A = this chain, B = another copy of it.
Protein backbone atom coordinates (compact mmCIF):
# COMPACT_ATOMS: atom_id res chain seq x y z
CA UNK A 1 0.00 0.00 0.00
CA UNK A 2 1.27 3.50 -0.72
CA UNK A 3 1.94 6.03 1.99
CA UNK A 4 -0.80 8.30 0.69
CA UNK A 5 -3.23 5.92 2.39
CA UNK A 6 -6.23 7.45 4.14
CA UNK A 7 -5.80 8.22 7.82
CA UNK A 8 -2.54 10.09 7.42
CA UNK A 9 -3.24 12.15 10.54
CA UNK A 10 -0.19 11.57 12.69
CA UNK A 11 -0.82 9.14 15.54
CA UNK A 12 0.56 9.52 19.05
CA UNK A 13 3.37 7.18 20.06
CA UNK A 14 2.45 7.19 23.76
CA UNK A 15 0.99 4.11 25.35
CA UNK A 16 -2.51 4.17 26.83
CA UNK A 17 -2.71 6.06 30.13
CA UNK A 18 -1.38 4.20 33.18
CA UNK A 19 0.12 1.20 31.37
CA UNK A 20 3.72 0.51 30.42
CA UNK A 21 5.70 -0.31 27.30
CA UNK A 22 8.50 -2.75 28.02
CA UNK A 23 11.51 -2.00 25.84
CA UNK A 24 14.16 -4.75 25.96
CA UNK A 25 15.97 -3.27 28.99
CA UNK A 26 12.67 -2.96 30.93
CA UNK A 27 11.53 -6.37 29.77
CA UNK A 28 14.80 -7.88 31.04
CA UNK A 29 14.02 -6.46 34.51
CA UNK A 30 10.49 -7.93 34.38
CA UNK A 31 11.92 -11.29 33.40
CA UNK A 32 14.52 -11.11 36.17
CA UNK A 33 11.76 -10.49 38.73
CA UNK A 34 9.43 -13.13 37.25
CA UNK A 35 12.36 -15.57 37.08
CA UNK A 36 13.09 -15.32 40.80
CA UNK A 37 9.38 -15.56 41.63
CA UNK A 38 9.11 -18.70 39.53
CA UNK A 39 12.34 -20.31 40.75
CA UNK A 40 11.41 -19.92 44.42
CA UNK A 41 7.76 -20.96 43.92
CA UNK A 42 8.91 -24.09 42.08
CA UNK A 43 11.53 -24.82 44.73
CA UNK A 44 8.61 -25.13 47.21
CA UNK A 45 6.81 -27.57 44.90
CA UNK A 46 4.37 -25.09 43.31
CA UNK A 47 3.31 -25.55 39.67
CA UNK A 48 2.24 -22.87 37.17
CA UNK A 49 -1.33 -22.31 35.95
CA UNK A 50 -2.95 -19.36 34.20
CA UNK A 51 -6.25 -18.01 32.98
CA UNK A 52 -7.61 -15.35 30.68
CA UNK A 53 -7.70 -11.68 31.68
CA UNK A 54 -11.38 -11.70 30.63
CA UNK A 55 -13.80 -12.89 33.31
CA UNK A 56 -17.57 -12.63 33.77
CA UNK A 57 -18.18 -9.47 35.83
CA UNK A 58 -20.33 -11.34 38.36
CA UNK A 59 -17.24 -13.23 39.54
CA UNK A 60 -16.12 -10.10 41.39
CA UNK A 61 -19.47 -8.94 42.71
CA UNK A 62 -19.72 -11.69 45.33
CA UNK A 63 -16.57 -11.33 47.37
CA UNK A 64 -14.03 -8.87 46.09
CA UNK A 65 -15.62 -5.89 47.82
CA UNK A 66 -18.02 -3.36 46.36
CA UNK A 67 -15.64 -0.46 46.00
CA UNK A 68 -13.35 -2.50 43.80
CA UNK A 69 -16.07 -3.74 41.42
CA UNK A 70 -18.04 -0.55 41.17
CA UNK A 71 -15.35 2.06 40.96
CA UNK A 72 -12.08 0.38 40.20
CA UNK A 73 -12.57 -2.19 37.45
CA UNK A 74 -12.61 -2.18 33.70
CA UNK A 75 -16.04 -3.64 33.09
CA UNK A 76 -17.87 -3.48 29.78
CA UNK A 77 -20.67 -5.22 27.91
CA UNK A 78 -19.56 -7.38 24.99
CA UNK A 79 -21.41 -7.59 21.66
CA UNK A 80 -23.25 -10.67 22.92
CA UNK A 81 -24.61 -8.72 25.92
CA UNK A 82 -22.25 -10.37 28.45
CA UNK A 83 -20.77 -8.23 31.19
CA UNK A 84 -17.00 -8.75 31.10
CA UNK A 85 -14.32 -7.55 33.52
CA UNK A 86 -10.58 -7.30 33.01
CA UNK A 87 -9.51 -9.22 36.12
CA UNK A 88 -8.51 -6.89 39.00
CA UNK A 89 -7.08 -9.79 41.03
CA UNK A 90 -6.36 -13.49 40.45
CA UNK A 91 -7.92 -15.17 43.51
CA UNK A 92 -11.50 -15.37 42.13
CA UNK A 93 -10.14 -16.92 38.89
CA UNK A 94 -8.11 -19.57 40.68
CA UNK A 95 -11.04 -20.32 43.01
CA UNK A 96 -13.30 -20.71 39.95
CA UNK A 97 -10.81 -23.06 38.27
CA UNK A 98 -10.38 -25.20 41.39
CA UNK A 99 -14.16 -25.36 41.97
CA UNK A 100 -14.71 -26.42 38.33
CA UNK A 101 -12.53 -29.52 38.72
CA UNK A 102 -12.81 -30.14 42.43
CA UNK A 103 -13.50 -33.85 41.98
CA UNK A 104 -10.57 -34.66 39.69
CA UNK A 105 -7.84 -32.46 41.13
CA UNK A 106 -5.36 -34.18 43.50
CA UNK A 107 -5.40 -32.09 46.69
CA UNK A 108 -3.40 -30.49 48.16
CA UNK A 109 -2.70 -28.21 45.21
CA UNK A 110 0.33 -25.93 45.19
CA UNK A 111 -0.30 -23.48 42.38
CA UNK A 112 1.30 -20.23 41.26
CA UNK A 113 0.70 -17.77 38.43
CA UNK A 114 2.09 -14.42 37.30
CA UNK A 115 -0.98 -12.70 35.82
CA UNK A 116 -1.40 -9.10 34.73
CA UNK A 117 -4.19 -7.33 36.61
CA UNK A 118 -6.21 -4.22 35.84
CA UNK A 119 -7.47 -1.44 38.10
CA UNK A 120 -9.22 1.63 36.84
CA UNK A 121 -7.57 4.25 39.01
CA UNK A 122 -5.49 7.36 38.67
CA UNK A 123 -1.91 6.29 38.03
CA UNK A 124 0.52 7.22 40.83
CA UNK A 125 3.82 5.95 42.18
CA UNK A 126 3.46 2.24 42.81
CA UNK A 127 -0.14 2.09 41.48
CA UNK A 128 -0.72 1.63 37.75
CA UNK A 129 -3.74 0.61 35.69
CA UNK A 130 -2.01 -2.62 34.68
CA UNK A 131 0.47 -4.50 36.79
CA UNK A 132 1.74 -8.03 37.17
CA UNK A 133 1.48 -10.01 40.36
CA UNK A 134 2.86 -13.29 41.60
CA UNK A 135 0.00 -15.32 43.06
CA UNK A 136 0.83 -18.31 45.23
CA UNK A 137 -1.96 -20.51 46.58
CA UNK A 138 -2.10 -23.71 48.59
CA UNK A 139 -5.47 -25.51 48.45
CA UNK A 140 -6.48 -28.37 50.72
CA UNK A 141 -4.25 -27.75 53.73
CA UNK A 142 -6.11 -26.97 56.96
CA UNK A 143 -3.35 -26.50 59.50
CA UNK A 144 -1.25 -23.45 60.30
CA UNK A 145 1.67 -25.19 58.54
CA UNK A 146 0.10 -23.94 55.31
CA UNK A 147 0.47 -20.32 56.44
CA UNK A 148 4.00 -21.10 57.65
CA UNK A 149 4.89 -22.48 54.21
CA UNK A 150 3.55 -19.63 52.08
CA UNK A 151 5.08 -16.97 54.35
CA UNK A 152 8.43 -18.83 54.28
CA UNK A 153 8.16 -18.92 50.48
CA UNK A 154 7.58 -15.15 50.33
CA UNK A 155 10.50 -14.50 52.67
CA UNK A 156 12.73 -16.73 50.55
CA UNK A 157 11.81 -14.63 47.48
CA UNK A 158 12.86 -11.41 49.20
CA UNK A 159 16.11 -12.98 50.40
CA UNK A 160 16.81 -14.33 46.90
CA UNK A 161 16.50 -10.78 45.55
CA UNK A 162 19.23 -9.80 48.03
CA UNK A 163 16.98 -8.06 50.60
CA UNK A 164 18.28 -8.73 54.08
CA UNK A 165 15.74 -9.52 56.81
CA UNK A 166 16.01 -6.14 58.56
CA UNK A 167 14.73 -4.45 55.38
CA UNK A 168 11.25 -5.94 55.77
CA UNK A 169 8.88 -6.99 58.50
CA UNK A 170 6.03 -9.49 58.42
CA UNK A 171 2.80 -8.42 60.12
CA UNK A 172 0.24 -10.97 61.13
CA UNK A 173 -3.36 -10.71 62.25
CA UNK A 174 -6.40 -12.98 62.29
CA UNK A 175 -9.87 -12.42 60.88
CA UNK A 176 -11.08 -15.07 63.34
CA UNK A 177 -9.90 -12.89 66.22
CA UNK A 178 -11.19 -9.64 64.76
CA UNK A 179 -14.62 -11.15 64.00
CA UNK A 180 -14.79 -12.65 67.51
CA UNK A 181 -14.13 -9.19 68.92
CA UNK A 182 -16.36 -7.11 66.64
CA UNK A 183 -19.28 -9.49 66.09
CA UNK A 184 -19.35 -11.98 68.99
CA UNK A 185 -18.11 -9.72 71.78
CA UNK A 186 -18.99 -6.16 70.76
CA UNK A 187 -22.17 -7.35 68.96
CA UNK A 188 -21.71 -5.27 65.82
CA UNK A 189 -23.75 -6.14 62.74
CA UNK A 190 -21.81 -7.74 59.92
CA UNK A 191 -22.12 -4.52 57.94
CA UNK A 192 -20.85 -2.33 60.80
CA UNK A 193 -18.09 -4.78 61.51
CA UNK A 194 -16.96 -4.50 57.89
CA UNK A 195 -17.11 -0.71 58.08
CA UNK A 196 -14.93 -0.76 61.23
CA UNK A 197 -12.44 -3.08 59.51
CA UNK A 198 -12.17 -0.77 56.53
CA UNK A 199 -11.74 2.21 58.81
CA UNK A 200 -8.90 0.50 60.71
CA UNK A 201 -7.36 -0.41 57.32
CA UNK A 202 -7.18 3.31 56.47
CA UNK A 203 -6.07 4.41 59.96
CA UNK A 204 -2.65 5.68 58.82
CA UNK A 205 -4.20 7.69 56.01
CA UNK A 206 -6.10 10.17 58.24
CA UNK A 207 -5.44 12.40 61.27
CA UNK A 208 -5.83 10.71 64.64
CA UNK A 209 -8.80 12.88 65.56
CA UNK A 210 -10.69 12.00 62.38
CA UNK A 211 -10.13 8.30 63.01
CA UNK A 212 -11.36 8.54 66.63
CA UNK A 213 -14.46 10.45 65.54
CA UNK A 214 -15.37 7.97 62.79
CA UNK A 215 -14.73 4.99 65.04
CA UNK A 216 -16.91 6.50 67.74
CA UNK A 217 -19.71 7.04 65.21
CA UNK A 218 -19.63 3.37 64.28
CA UNK A 219 -19.08 1.86 67.73
CA UNK A 220 -20.81 4.15 70.20
CA UNK A 221 -20.16 2.95 73.76
CA UNK A 222 -17.65 0.30 72.60
CA UNK A 223 -15.33 2.92 71.16
CA UNK A 224 -12.95 2.87 74.14
CA UNK A 225 -12.72 -0.92 74.31
CA UNK A 226 -11.59 -1.12 70.72
CA UNK A 227 -9.19 1.83 71.00
CA UNK A 228 -7.49 0.13 73.94
CA UNK A 229 -7.06 -3.00 71.84
CA UNK A 230 -5.80 -1.10 68.80
CA UNK A 231 -3.31 0.84 70.90
CA UNK A 232 -1.88 -2.25 72.61
CA UNK A 233 1.88 -2.43 72.10
CA UNK A 234 2.18 -6.17 71.62
CA UNK A 235 0.48 -9.55 71.65
CA UNK A 236 0.61 -9.92 75.44
CA UNK A 237 -0.91 -6.51 76.15
CA UNK A 238 -3.57 -7.09 73.48
CA UNK A 239 -4.46 -10.51 74.93
CA UNK A 240 -4.74 -9.11 78.45
CA UNK A 241 -7.68 -6.90 77.37
CA UNK A 242 -9.66 -9.77 75.84
CA UNK A 243 -12.49 -11.71 77.49
CA UNK A 244 -12.20 -15.49 77.68
CA UNK A 245 -14.08 -17.17 74.86
CA UNK A 246 -13.35 -20.17 72.63
CA UNK A 247 -13.04 -18.39 69.29
CA UNK A 248 -10.70 -15.79 70.77
CA UNK A 249 -8.59 -18.37 72.58
CA UNK A 250 -8.16 -20.54 69.52
CA UNK A 251 -7.58 -17.53 67.22
CA UNK A 252 -4.92 -16.08 69.53
CA UNK A 253 -3.17 -19.41 70.00
CA UNK A 254 -3.06 -19.84 66.22
CA UNK A 255 -1.24 -16.51 65.89
CA UNK A 256 1.25 -17.52 68.61
CA UNK A 257 1.79 -20.90 66.95
CA UNK A 258 2.45 -19.26 63.57
CA UNK A 259 4.96 -16.80 65.06
CA UNK A 260 6.74 -19.64 66.91
CA UNK A 261 6.93 -21.85 63.82
CA UNK A 262 8.26 -19.03 61.67
CA UNK A 263 10.90 -18.34 64.31
CA UNK A 264 11.78 -22.04 64.28
CA UNK A 265 12.52 -21.66 60.54
CA UNK A 266 14.81 -18.70 61.21
CA UNK A 267 12.21 -16.07 60.29
CA UNK A 268 12.50 -13.66 63.22
CA UNK A 269 11.04 -10.50 61.71
CA UNK A 270 7.36 -11.44 62.05
CA UNK A 271 5.14 -9.52 64.48
CA UNK A 272 1.50 -9.46 65.54
CA UNK A 273 -0.32 -6.37 64.26
CA UNK A 274 -3.95 -5.99 65.29
CA UNK A 275 -4.41 -3.05 62.87
CA UNK A 276 -3.71 -5.21 59.81
CA UNK A 277 -7.01 -5.77 57.97
CA UNK A 278 -6.49 -6.47 54.20
CA UNK A 279 -9.09 -5.13 51.78
CA UNK A 280 -10.75 -8.25 50.38
CA UNK A 281 -13.91 -9.62 51.96
CA UNK A 282 -13.07 -13.28 51.43
CA UNK A 283 -10.46 -13.87 54.12
CA UNK A 284 -11.53 -16.17 56.95
CA UNK A 285 -8.49 -16.70 59.21
CA UNK A 286 -4.88 -15.53 59.38
CA UNK A 287 -4.04 -12.48 57.25
CA UNK A 288 -0.49 -11.25 56.68
CA UNK A 289 1.51 -8.60 54.91
CA UNK A 290 5.21 -7.92 54.44
CA UNK A 291 6.20 -4.27 54.75
CA UNK A 292 9.28 -2.44 53.63
CA UNK A 293 10.89 -1.12 56.86
CA UNK A 294 12.49 1.87 55.12
CA UNK A 295 10.98 4.86 57.00
CA UNK A 296 10.81 6.90 53.75
CA UNK A 297 9.06 4.16 51.90
CA UNK A 298 6.62 2.22 54.09
CA UNK A 299 4.87 0.03 51.62
CA UNK A 300 3.27 -3.34 51.53
CA UNK A 301 5.45 -5.68 49.46
CA UNK A 302 2.97 -8.49 49.56
CA UNK A 303 -0.14 -9.60 51.35
CA UNK A 304 -2.36 -12.61 51.72
CA UNK A 305 -4.25 -14.85 54.05
CA UNK A 306 -6.56 -17.79 54.50
CA UNK A 307 -9.83 -17.91 52.55
CA UNK A 308 -11.45 -21.25 53.38
CA UNK A 309 -14.93 -20.31 52.14
CA UNK A 310 -14.38 -18.64 48.79
CA UNK A 311 -15.23 -21.77 46.81
CA UNK A 312 -18.70 -21.72 48.39
CA UNK A 313 -19.76 -19.05 45.89
CA UNK A 314 -19.60 -21.76 43.20
CA UNK A 315 -21.77 -24.13 45.21
CA UNK A 316 -18.71 -26.20 46.09
CA UNK A 317 -18.07 -27.55 49.57
CA UNK A 318 -15.44 -25.47 51.37
CA UNK A 319 -11.80 -26.08 50.41
CA UNK A 320 -9.16 -24.82 52.83
CA UNK A 321 -7.00 -22.25 51.03
CA UNK A 322 -4.10 -19.93 51.82
CA UNK A 323 -2.46 -17.59 49.36
CA UNK A 324 -0.67 -14.33 48.73
CA UNK A 325 0.05 -11.84 45.98
CA UNK A 326 3.21 -9.80 45.31
CA UNK A 327 3.25 -7.01 42.70
CA UNK A 328 5.90 -6.21 40.09
CA UNK A 329 5.70 -2.43 40.44
CA UNK A 330 6.48 -2.33 44.17
CA UNK A 331 9.04 -5.11 43.82
CA UNK A 332 10.93 -3.26 41.11
CA UNK A 333 10.75 -0.03 43.08
CA UNK A 334 12.25 -1.64 46.17
CA UNK A 335 15.00 -3.36 44.18
CA UNK A 336 15.85 -0.04 42.52
CA UNK A 337 15.93 1.71 45.92
CA UNK A 338 18.47 -0.80 47.24
CA UNK A 339 20.35 -1.01 43.93
CA UNK A 340 19.66 -4.74 43.68
CA UNK A 341 18.74 -4.99 39.99
CA UNK A 342 21.32 -6.65 37.71
CA UNK A 343 22.86 -4.64 34.85
CA UNK A 344 21.29 -5.25 31.44
CA UNK A 345 22.88 -7.71 29.06
CA UNK A 346 21.06 -9.18 26.06
CA UNK A 347 20.82 -12.96 25.67
CA UNK A 348 22.83 -12.65 22.41
CA UNK A 349 26.39 -14.02 22.68
CA UNK A 350 27.91 -13.09 19.32
CA UNK A 351 27.58 -10.54 16.53
CA UNK A 352 29.05 -11.56 13.17
CA UNK A 353 30.29 -8.69 10.99
CA UNK A 354 31.47 -8.90 7.38
CA UNK A 355 34.09 -7.11 5.33
CA UNK A 356 32.53 -8.22 2.03
CA UNK A 357 28.95 -8.90 0.94
CA UNK A 358 30.20 -12.04 -0.85
CA UNK A 359 30.76 -13.91 2.39
CA UNK A 360 27.17 -13.52 3.67
CA UNK A 361 26.18 -17.06 2.54
CA UNK A 362 29.22 -18.41 4.43
CA UNK A 363 28.20 -16.36 7.49
CA UNK A 364 24.61 -17.69 7.41
CA UNK A 365 26.07 -21.23 7.47
CA UNK A 366 28.55 -20.40 10.24
CA UNK A 367 25.74 -18.88 12.31
CA UNK A 368 23.61 -22.00 11.85
CA UNK A 369 26.50 -24.20 13.02
CA UNK A 370 27.11 -22.02 16.09
CA UNK A 371 23.40 -22.01 16.95
CA UNK A 372 23.56 -25.80 16.91
CA UNK A 373 26.36 -25.46 19.48
CA UNK A 374 24.08 -23.41 21.74
CA UNK A 375 25.52 -19.99 20.83
CA UNK A 376 23.05 -17.14 20.25
CA UNK A 377 24.18 -15.31 17.12
CA UNK A 378 23.05 -12.15 15.34
CA UNK A 379 24.36 -11.34 11.86
CA UNK A 380 25.01 -7.85 10.53
CA UNK A 381 23.03 -7.59 7.29
CA UNK A 382 23.90 -3.99 6.47
CA UNK A 383 26.15 -2.55 3.80
CA UNK A 384 28.01 -0.41 6.31
CA UNK A 385 31.75 -0.37 7.07
CA UNK A 386 32.96 -3.06 9.44
CA UNK A 387 33.85 -0.44 12.10
CA UNK A 388 30.24 0.71 12.15
CA UNK A 389 29.06 -2.89 12.34
CA UNK A 390 31.20 -3.41 15.47
CA UNK A 391 29.75 -0.22 16.97
CA UNK A 392 26.26 -1.69 16.48
CA UNK A 393 27.25 -4.78 18.51
CA UNK A 394 28.63 -2.50 21.21
CA UNK A 395 25.44 -0.42 21.38
CA UNK A 396 23.43 -3.62 21.80
CA UNK A 397 25.83 -4.72 24.58
CA UNK A 398 26.54 -8.00 22.74
CA UNK A 399 29.73 -9.37 24.38
CA UNK A 400 31.56 -10.94 21.39
CA UNK A 401 32.20 -10.05 17.75
CA UNK A 402 33.71 -12.01 14.85
CA UNK A 403 34.55 -10.17 11.61
CA UNK A 404 34.48 -12.36 8.51
CA UNK A 405 35.94 -11.54 5.07
CA UNK A 406 37.34 -13.50 2.18
CA UNK A 407 40.66 -13.87 3.99
CA UNK A 408 39.07 -15.56 7.03
CA UNK A 409 36.98 -17.85 4.83
CA UNK A 410 39.98 -19.06 2.82
CA UNK A 411 42.45 -19.07 5.75
CA UNK A 412 39.97 -20.86 8.04
CA UNK A 413 41.03 -18.74 11.03
CA UNK A 414 38.65 -16.45 12.90
CA UNK A 415 39.29 -13.77 15.50
CA UNK A 416 36.80 -13.51 18.38
CA UNK A 417 36.83 -10.02 19.93
CA UNK A 418 35.52 -9.65 23.44
CA UNK A 419 34.03 -6.13 23.59
CA UNK A 420 34.25 -5.78 27.38
CA UNK A 421 38.07 -5.92 27.57
CA UNK A 422 38.91 -5.65 23.84
CA UNK A 423 40.80 -8.97 24.06
CA UNK A 424 41.13 -11.06 20.88
CA UNK A 425 41.50 -14.80 20.34
CA UNK A 426 42.19 -16.33 16.91
CA UNK A 427 40.90 -19.88 16.44
CA UNK A 428 39.62 -22.35 13.84
CA UNK A 429 35.88 -22.46 13.04
CA UNK A 430 35.26 -25.45 15.31
CA UNK A 431 36.76 -23.67 18.32
CA UNK A 432 34.75 -20.43 18.10
CA UNK A 433 31.98 -21.72 20.36
CA UNK A 434 34.47 -22.66 23.12
CA UNK A 435 35.91 -19.13 23.25
CA UNK A 436 32.43 -17.62 23.41
CA UNK A 437 31.22 -19.99 26.10
CA UNK A 438 34.23 -18.98 28.21
CA UNK A 439 33.30 -15.29 27.89
CA UNK A 440 29.67 -16.13 28.72
CA UNK A 441 30.75 -18.11 31.75
CA UNK A 442 32.88 -15.24 33.05
CA UNK A 443 30.03 -12.78 32.48
CA UNK A 444 27.63 -15.03 34.44
CA UNK A 445 30.01 -15.22 37.37
CA UNK A 446 30.03 -11.43 37.83
Contact = CB atoms under 8 A, between A and B. Distances in A.
**Ranked 9 nearest A-B pairs via Cβ:** A45-B378, A19-B52, A13-B100, A106-B395, A10-B315, A76-B76, A7-B62, A24-B47, A22-B50
B42 A348 contact: yes
B381 A63 contact: no
Contact of A23 (B11, B42, B49): B49
Interface string A1-36: 111010110111111110111111001101100000
B84 A42 contact: no
Copies of this polypeptide in the complex: 2
A78 B120 contact: yes
A20 B99 CA distance: 16
Q: Which of A13, A14, A56, A129 has the most CB of B within 10 A?
A: A13
A409 to B, nearest CB: 15
Contact of A44 (B110, B315, B365, B378): B378
Q: Which of A12, A28, A46, A381 has the most CB of B within 10 A?
A: A381
A63 B5 contact: yes
Interface residues of A, number: 115
A361 B264 contact: yes
A352 B111 CA distance: 18
B108 A382 contact: yes
B381 A108 contact: yes
Interface stretch (A139-147, A200-208, A237-245, A418-426): A139-147
Given A10-B313, A106-B395, A351 B45 contact: yes
A163 interface: no
A282 interface: yes
Interface in A37-69: 42-56, 58-59, 61-63
A21 B52 contact: yes
Interface string A271-305: 00000000001111000000000000000000000
A107 to B, nearest CB: 8
Q: Which of A11, A58, A360 has the most CB of B within 10 A?
A: A11
A261 B2 CA distance: 28
